[in-house]
A and B are shown apart, each in its own frame.
Chain A
């Protein structure tokens, strides 16, 4: 239906150390890489915050204290004090040191840049892998409660923003830390008094910056929400374009567009306005600091007990603007963590979810778990199913299945029909052990299915879904999904049985034709046939056919009829039926209503009884198009000799 909704995220009040601690383990696991990264960063920050200012100061010193004795550059001696260690260089040494350090820095920045991204990617990949494994382990009930959209958002967006935040966050903090340490050391080795004066302004900046960051984060979040709202609205307007046209409400919709875009404009303006003041305020503080440094430099340029050489004044002017950067970095990083926190919490929630359905320890012992099955211990299954006084509720106290007693003989087909909420889908869910009965037992070949493993049960069940699902892959991969070790002959035989083989061979690459976008160019019927072939290849003792509610077109329905017959042949099959054609041809039909069996019989007997089945059938009949009504009548009422009067 309408609208792609978006989640409006609220900002957390404080950092959740529990969650970040757990997420942090993904980073800590990479400690050797992190160690190398720190070394690289150490080199880079050393170059930027210590080496360059020191070298600049040395050359400025030399340029301002013109030594009479020096006539040529080659006679010049420079006194460089690197981190307090005095080094005496001639000009050649100076040039060489510069050149070497450029290479060192480039190498270091290469390492820093690459490793940061690499670690971020590793964290993301690890998180995705773990989430994916977790999703395979979780029981079906989890997916009933959790929309796939939610899960995709966790795995797609949150994992990558966590990876980035974590790796860049660590790097930013380390960077800022190294940077400030190097700057402070360099400042103190040059002139400790000026250094102290400069540092005195830090508290002021440390108060202003986080205040701004917090307000900025909020304002930008609001603006972003407004934009997501717009995108959702726009998508809906494009989807609903035909309705807009036919109602001739273009004007009203444009009015709405104007309001929504104005909302974005205003919120972005509010956020941007804050930004506009942020940098200038910092600039003004640093300018004031610069003026102070210059004044001190001027008054002490030649005093005896505290001499501030010209070069020192000039270099300190540079420190003023660079000393505030680390504080901004800290603050930004903190904001980043805040912004990503909600996502991190949700990902952890997913990773820590416990599967609702698990096998008993002794069953696991014998049959293995889902990811490591012991197939050698699997028995062969014939396919007799018994529901023995089965009750079920979804945990809210409302019984969806009430005292269900049902025996399905081996090799017969059973259709279950009923309104939405009658319990027909739940019955199948119980049979597949997507859920377990709250009371009573389900026996398969006379054994309670809880005494055998999930893997055992499911390796004996074929399941064909409401809307046929085709994986992005080749025809071969899609069919072999039923049984991975099937031979070429078996696969072709299965496809021939459902009548899709010829169609597959018409494609250029035959079975190796790649189906893009989940077989986007295949018709609904062709997709269904592929899923039939998949089920046949699996050759299960029990087959479940879960039909689509939405009627498919008649042509397709006719194509499927024969294929369905060959699929069901010789198996115990349970069909949640919506299509008239499948219901009619089943051995036995159950009508369910509010969790109990209301009617039980064949098409003919139930039609003549004129009860619930008759009504259901008639409702569907009326919704057929006129030509289908004629066909259906001839085939299944007249043709079966049913008398309705």
Chain B
């Protein structure tokens, strides 16, 4: 039930189309069956004509059809005006084709819309999950669900459910007509089917298991290929070509064995379940002939019974396969629901104070949910608008966490942080992140042009703004040196930027956001000292009040800061200006002495 309701939810916006496509499918089934029913009328009337007997249609549907075709005039009229029959076949066939066309259009229309809707529902949810979710989950797994599982669901909703609907109506109509013509005949002709269902149900599981094993074996083989290619230097340098060929041969042999086992069994399965299908078809002829000869059914009934049985066998067999596949669909559905059940981050509630760089940390502590280890411990400091704060510390001292807290990527566990006098927890996240912008340590650029990458942070930025930001980040010249300038695509299809270039584009991106508070998370260190200096000078000359945090390991970058914080194991171990800190022993003084000697 949960499955149905969540499918219904995923179809939002296309439900009417979807239902219509199912309804039209019913019309199509009816008109197709009607067309082939006409061959019964044809056979009966012709048989009567040849045997010189009057045409006596069966009571029920056949009489109705004859009345309909002749406009109420009856079977005699039909026998005198036989040309009605080919016209009727042509018209009803055309109608069936029309319905089939309409149904396909509706089906495709709803299919593509549902697909889009599912993709959007899942993506907008993913997009709003908190930062931590992406730290905890593997990108590959998320991608798998967003693509393959979604596709399994789409296939089920559109194709499989369409087939089930089709089969249901075909069987319902054909079966009721057959039963009304000859119940005894129907039962005999269809007797192989229950067996086929049971048979399929059990065997297909084994087919699937063998398939999975084959698939795994193939995966091992392709792993070997990519391993060999990635290790090509090792293979060649170690002269291991023959060894690798032998190893690969083992994988080929293993795959071949699995493949043969799987295909033998699946071929056996298909061939043997064909026996039921052809059994039913043959039985319908053999037994029907006997009944016809004994005069229990008319020749038309024989014709129609044979064609109805034909119409039912393949869809039924198809449904047997679909049903045994349902487990996979449910598993995909569960994985999608699991993502959708993750709580999304509340981006929109809270206050929107004017953020200008007035920041106060008051006895702030933070520890990870599952860890007992304090990442930050009792940190206090305050910053005034327009100040530059440098943060130094050893690896793992909690420097980056400090800023994750400030941006509300995580929430602090103890103490209080006030921004413009407002408790940070009460500030709207989207507002905060527009105003406090970081350059991450490991910059990520999207496969777009350089211009688009910089523009990303502020969609109101003009071209001048983008170029200005690039100039501040000292990357404008580099960009202009590329053939396509700002329109140069980044990534596999475009230029490969060096680490420093990437970093500077990311800096430009952050600057173009116009945020009053900027955080450089070790990001100036990736550029050389001269550029580092240039960027910091540009920042000062920007002409607006910017509060800057710089995480760095260069004394030179920290020296001019209004305040330098030194962190050690999550605690503030030193705090003050350059002049103050070099007077007392500590990490800062040591590093200052080394760096000035080495300069």
- For window 197-233 of B, CB contacts with A under 8 Å fall at 221-233
Residues from chain A with Cβ under 8 Å of B241 in the complex: 136-137, 370-371
Partner of B293, one of A73, A250, A253, A463: A73
- For window 529-576 of A, CB contacts with B under 8 Å fall at 534, 538, 544, 546, 553-554
Chain A interface residue bracket vs B: 35 or more
Does B595 count as interface, using CB distance less than 8 angstroms? yes
- For window 559-599 of B, CB contacts with A under 8 Å fall at 587, 590-591, 594-595, 597-598
Residues from chain A with Cβ under 8 Å of B394 in the complex: 625-627
Q: Is the interface of B mostly helix, strand, loop or mixed?
A: helix
**How many angstroms from the CA of A121 to the CA of B116 in the assembled complex?**
36
A140-181 contact mask (Cβ, 8 Å, vs B): 1 or 0: 100100001001100110000000000000000000000000
Does A486 count as interface, using CB distance less than 8 angstroms? no
Does B477 count as interface, using CB distance less than 8 angstroms? no
How distant is A127 from chain B, measured CB to nearest CB, in Å?
Answer: 11
Does A13 count as interface, using CB distance less than 8 angstroms? no
Q: Is the pair A114, B447 in contact by a Cβ cutoff of 8 Å?
A: no
Q: Given A64-B46, A302-B50, answer yes or no on A231-B293 (Cβ-Cβ < 8 Å).
A: no
Residues from chain B with Cβ under 8 Å of A240 in the complex: 444, 446
Does B128 count as interface, using CB distance less than 8 angstroms? yes
Q: Given A152-B226, A313-B46, A465-B234, answer yes or no on A626-B85 (Cβ-Cβ < 8 Å).
A: no
Q: Is the pair B83, A298 in contact by a Cβ cutoff of 8 Å?
A: yes
Best-surrounded residue of B47, B93, B238, B395 (most CB of chain A within 10 A) = B238
Q: Is the pair A1, B598 in contact by a Cβ cutoff of 8 Å?
A: no
Chain B interface residue bracket vs A: 35 or more
B250-277 contact mask (Cβ, 8 Å, vs A): 1 or 0: 0010011001100110111011101100
Q: Is the pair A3, B143 in contact by a Cβ cutoff of 8 Å?
A: no
How distant is A118 from chain B, measured CB to nearest CB, in Å?
Answer: 6
Does B478 count as interface, using CB distance less than 8 angstroms? no
Best-surrounded residue of A105, A254, A471 (most CB of chain B within 10 A) = A471
Q: Is the pair B288, A102 in contact by a Cβ cutoff of 8 Å?
A: no
Q: Given A72-B294, A257-B119, A626-B394, answer yes or no on A249-B238 (Cβ-Cβ < 8 Å).
A: no
- For window 229-249 of A, CB contacts with B under 8 Å fall at 230-232, 234-249
Residues from chain A with Cβ under 8 Å of B131 in the complex: 241-242, 245-246
Q: Given A129-B248, A268-B112, answer yes or no on A121-B407 (Cβ-Cβ < 8 Å).
A: no
Q: Is the pair B457, A269 in contact by a Cβ cutoff of 8 Å?
A: no
Residues from chain B with Cβ under 8 Å of A484 in the complex: 243
Q: Is the pair A294, B293 in contact by a Cβ cutoff of 8 Å?
A: no
Partner of A283, one of B82, B97, B129, B595: B97
Q: Given A152-B226, A314-B39, answer yes or no on A287-B127 (Cβ-Cβ < 8 Å).
A: no
Q: In the complex, identify which listed stretch (B3-11, B180-188, B299-307) lies at the interface while the others stay far away.
A: B299-307
**How many angstroms from the CA of A107 to the CA of B229 in the assembled complex?**
43
- For window 582-637 of A, CB contacts with B under 8 Å fall at 618-619, 621-627, 629-630, 633, 637
Does B336 count as interface, using CB distance less than 8 angstroms? no
Does A133 count as interface, using CB distance less than 8 angstroms? yes
Residues from chain A with Cβ under 8 Å of B42 in the complex: 294, 310, 313-314
B104-146 contact mask (Cβ, 8 Å, vs A): 1 or 0: 1101110111011001100110111111001100010011001
Does B68 count as interface, using CB distance less than 8 angstroms? no
Q: Is the pair A234, B143 in contact by a Cβ cutoff of 8 Å?
A: yes
Residues from chain B with Cβ under 8 Å of A234 in the complex: 123, 143, 146-147
Does B388 count as interface, using CB distance less than 8 angstroms? no
Q: Is the pair A629, B222 in contact by a Cβ cutoff of 8 Å?
A: no
**How many angstroms from the CA of A277 to the CA of B270 in the assembled complex?**
31
Q: Is the interface of A mostly helix, strand, loop or mixed?
A: helix
- For window 408-440 of A, CB contacts with B under 8 Å fall at 432, 434
B432-475 contact mask (Cβ, 8 Å, vs A): 1 or 0: 01100110100111110000000011010000000000000000
Q: Is the pair B445, A2 in contact by a Cβ cutoff of 8 Å?
A: yes
Does A514 count as interface, using CB distance less than 8 angstroms? no
Partner of A314, one of B293, B303, B407, B595: B303
Q: Is the pair B50, A644 in contact by a Cβ cutoff of 8 Å?
A: no
**How many angstroms from the CA of A72 to the CA of B288 in the assembled complex?**
14
How distant is A640 from chain B, measured CB to nearest CB, in Å?
Answer: 14
Best-surrounded residue of A56, A64, A253 (most CB of chain B within 10 A) = A64
Q: Given A264-B115, A619-B528, answer yes or no on A283-B409 (Cβ-Cβ < 8 Å).
A: no
Q: Is the pair B127, A3 in contact by a Cβ cutoff of 8 Å?
A: no
Does B481 count as interface, using CB distance less than 8 angstroms? no
Does B365 count as interface, using CB distance less than 8 angstroms? no
Q: Is the pair B553, A626 in contact by a Cβ cutoff of 8 Å?
A: yes
How distant is B186 from chain A, measured CB to nearest CB, in Å?
Answer: 17
Residues from chain B with Cβ under 8 Å of A639 in the complex: none
How distant is B111 from chain A, measured CB to nearest CB, in Å?
Answer: 7
Partner of B239, one of A76, A268, A317, A459: A459
Q: Given A243-B440, A265-B116, A310-B43, answer yes or no on A135-B229 (Cβ-Cβ < 8 Å).
A: yes
- For window 264-300 of A, CB contacts with B under 8 Å fall at 264-266, 268-269, 272-273, 275-277, 279-281, 283-284, 286-288, 290-292, 294-295, 297-298
Show 20 A/B contacts (Cβ-Cβ < 8 Å), sorted by A.
Answer: A2-B490, A60-B303, A66-B51, A102-B282, A114-B264, A117-B263, A132-B244, A234-B147, A240-B446, A241-B131, A242-B131, A257-B119, A262-B116, A268-B112, A272-B104, A290-B93, A458-B236, A481-B238, A626-B394, A633-B594
Query: 9 nearest interchain CB pairs?
Result: A287-B93, A272-B108, A3-B447, A276-B104, A248-B433, A463-B237, A110-B271, A291-B90, A114-B267
Given contacts A109-B267, A482-B238, 5 further A-B contacts (CB under 8 A): A76-B289, A105-B274, A137-B241, A261-B116, A371-B242
Q: Residues on A close to B: CB < 8 A? A: 1-5, 52, 55-56, 59-60, 62-66, 70, 72-73, 76, 91, 94-95, 98-99, 102-103, 105-107, 109-110, 113-114, 117-118, 121, 125, 128-129, 132-133, 135-137, 140, 143, 148, 151-152, 155-156, 230-232, 234-250, 252-254, 257-258, 261-262, 264-266, 268-269, 272-273, 275-277, 279-281, 283-284, 286-288, 290-292, 294-295, 297-298, 301-302, 309-310, 313-314, 317, 370-373, 432, 434, 455, 458-459, 461-463, 465, 469, 471-472, 481-482, 484, 518, 534, 538, 544, 546, 553-554, 618-619, 621-627, 629-630, 633, 637, 644
